[in-house]
Structure 1
């Protein structure tokens, strides 16, 4: 059993290293919005830069949207240095925009515009022990964001699995999609949100939720973005009481706080009251601290804490679920 666990960790470790090598050897474009795109630069001129992205396909990016370009030479010079070119920066207007929009971006994945200009991240975290006690913990995730002056969209998913002495102690999956419709020259916006949860150790097996409502941008500065949401919807649980109940949603979200050039804090607090029984409710609170790694552009380390409380259980399951985690974040 221990040999099998060791093999699993070796395989996962090799996978992480391979992804790090791929990220380090790709050409990269730093946009004026602060985002980074990686791939193979096909063409570069005074008017534009064409990048072949592994997910988005060919992207035609106007030079005015580019802050810097870093090209990994096929045959590096002595010392293994990279060739880096700087383009003129545009002044920051403070307006959210999709990189490449309005600059003739070529079709991306499957020739569908909906897949273009997403900021995609993969999260990976591993820990374990073997000796007097045998434990293993795995946390993997996929996140994607896209924003322009009319829309803001985010998808995130996370899988957590843990064992202790050969017994499964955690087996969870969460996927969430949120789309905001922004109102020009107004801090108000409308939103829809869909959430799917699986948890082997809850009173239910699967939970599906859908919400809609309005939000307000309380702070939208270059370093801090703080918003609030309120709305309502329904939640359906499977594998337990199998009930369908109306729920409210009230939340405050710290989308971004740039503490320094290399450190960012994000967080969220959400309250879900049961509209059919106000004594029943659930809450979710989370905070993440993300640090850019010094020697790898596009790679970050994230430390996080998440707490979920359910006021109603089956009498056996616990009301509170707390998770601590540390993950490596790879940008694409």
Structure 2
């Protein structure tokens, strides 16, 4: 059988002493992929992305999987991907689009290419004065502050005009500031999964009561979503706007604007969770796409 690597990290590996609260998503991905890959003559091997390069020998292709701590070790992560590629291992998604996708400043380029994005201010750090200035510019009273290099809403904060942090507070990271949009709590976030540029399935993610974050770590709930043709095309337009060919997998996260159109929140192409529960044939689609790459 042809060996295929699936990258994990120290807190998603089943052998980890203390796993992340969302490590069950790793288990669901492996459960969906293993039998589908085996049916195509592919052996899936889970491996810590920080393992020595020699431990990857014999793998034909490596998927980035659940390397969910890469954002705190971004350069080491990119160096590992480049090291694997130099050894002749196919990396999906490859290091070039991963480097482009690692900083959310890629949204600027997507906007220049015609994508509809959420209004954003980009800063090296954020102070209370910066937050107030952004609220004035956006004409809003609530602001979301995110890391430019981040994942899973880690370190993300919600700031309100009537309760800004005290003078001296800083966010502590290169930041993106966006107005809080009520649609996230009302309809939720819509995610569109693409395999080799082809639409696979969609889902709706809503936050738990009293929260605005839609990730399972914070109690977010996912459900199958059947998009209209216009909605599916809006997501596909983001794939077409990428400055490189469609990668093996991508997840396009979108939010509805006040006029009913969809705005891209993120185009996830590094290690996104691909929600096999809402796409029961995901394993078969990925197996077929991987087999084509290694054949």
TM-score over 0.5 (shorter chain) = no
Higher-Rg structure is: 1
Q: TM-score, normalised by structure 1?
A: 0.26
Q: TM-score, normalised by structure 2?
A: 0.29
Q: Which has the higher contact order (CA 8 A, sep 6+)?
A: 2
